[in-house]
Amino acid sequence: MGETTPEAEPRKLAEEARDRVHFEEEALELADQVYRVARRLVSTREEAEDLMQETYARAFRAWRSFQPGTNLRAWLLRILTNLNIDRGRRQQRSPDLQPLEEGDYYLYNKLEEAGREPNVEQERVDERLSQDDVVSALSAVPHDFRDVIVLVDIGDFSYADAAQILEIPIGTVMSRLHRGRRILKRELAEQTVGSV
Amino acid sequence: MALGAEIDPCDKCEELLQPFLDRELSDSERAEAEAHLDLCSYCRKRYRFEEALRKFVRQATVEEMPPDLKQKLADLRTPLF
């Protein structure tokens, strides 16, 4: 505080360089986790790679605005989701274009009707649904709902973190998650059982 | 979210499924759902399925980062000198 000696400026620069290196290393350590979320926010691997590079370039430039001790992964994802929106990858849907939802038992009931009742005793859901079914169904969920599912159910963010990342109220996170999961199950039913 | 007398308990249980698994229910709502699940295998199967489905969605959607991308990100770091 108020240090004016000739050594102060180089020392300050050295401290800043050390903090920046520390920040960059921490951000890079999180890259795998950030990528897993990024990959499901966009359609292709190429888009995810571009988005990651833009995100990290921006994060490295803006590192001073990160508050140490707060959630760096959420901070990086906030940059990433903002860039994703800025790049116009999202198609805003008006409410009347949102797909119909069914209840929460819908997928189970459809599998049961089709004679493919899941073996829940052994939790062998994978005997009834494939990885491709899930990826395809998720990509069919409208962006606003998918973003929340990806952050909470795949990225393991809390409702509060997801609200901060997407800059929406926590109540909106909860309602989009609730509806998004129902839409996902309807899409899964379409993928696995056929026209519904 | 108190149960109305005319509402089918399984319909109500279906409504509680997501907040139940998200641990977002009040104590009384949770007790209500658990009491119904103890008696109702129809709902119990569907709750277990939902739990397994969530795990499966998480596993099925994981795609690891391409190995060269990490180096590309590291190359974006500010040079020290």
Q: How many other CB atoms are there within 10 angstroms of residue B28's CB atom?
A: 10
pLDDT at A115 over 90: no
Task: List the single residue in B15, B54, B73 with the smallest CB-CB distance to A56.
Answer: B73
Domains, chain A, ranges and CATH? 8-86 (1.10.1740.10), 95-193 (1.10.10.10)
pLDDT at A179 over 70: yes
pLDDT at A96 over 60: no
> Fold for domain B9-74?
Arc Repressor Mutant, subunit A (1.10.10)
- Identify the DSSP state of B53: H
pLDDT at B49 over 70: yes
pLDDT at A190 over 90: no
Query: Nearest chain B Cα to A151, which residue?
Result: B58
pLDDT of residue A97: 54
**Structural domain spans, chain B:** 9-74
Query: Nearest chain A Cα to B62, which residue?
Result: A36
Interface touch A108/B56, C-beta < 8 Å? no
Please list every residue in chain A whose beta carbon sits closer than 8 Å to the beta carbon of residue B74: 28
State mean pLDDT over A56-60: 97
Containing A110, the helix (H) or strand (E) segment is helix A106-113
User: What are B7-45's pLDDT values in tens digits?
Assistant: 888 998 998 998 899 888 899 999 999 999 999 999 999
pLDDT of residue A120: 59
A40 in contact with chain B, both atoms CB, cutoff 8 A:
yes
| A3-7, A45-49, A110-114, B14-18: segment of lowest average pLDDT | A3-7
User: What are A124-175's pLDDT values in tens digits?
Assistant: 676 778 889 999 999 999 989 999 999 999 999 999 999 999 999 999 999 9
pLDDT of residue A93: 47
Q: A3 or B72: which carries more pLDDT confidence?
A: B72
Q: Answer whether A181's CB lies under 8 Å from B50's CB.
A: no
Interface touch B61/A135, C-beta < 8 Å? yes
Q: How confident is the model at residue B1 (pLDDT cuts 50, 70, 90)?
A: very low
pLDDT of residue A94: 45
Which residue has 């969605």 as its token pair?
B57
pLDDT at A10 over 90: no
Nearest 5°: CA angle at A23, between A20 and A24? 85
A94-99 contacts, C-beta under 8 A, 24 or more apart: A98/A142, A98/A183, A99/A142, A99/A183, A99/A186, A99/A187
Q: B5 or A95: which carries more pLDDT confidence?
A: B5
| A7-11, A83-87, A139-143, A163-167: segment of lowest average pLDDT | A7-11
pLDDT of residue A103: 85
* 3-class state of residue B61 by DSSP: coil
Quote the pTM value: 0.83
The dihedral formed by the CA atoms of B23, B49, A182 and A99, expressed in degrees to the nearest 10: 170
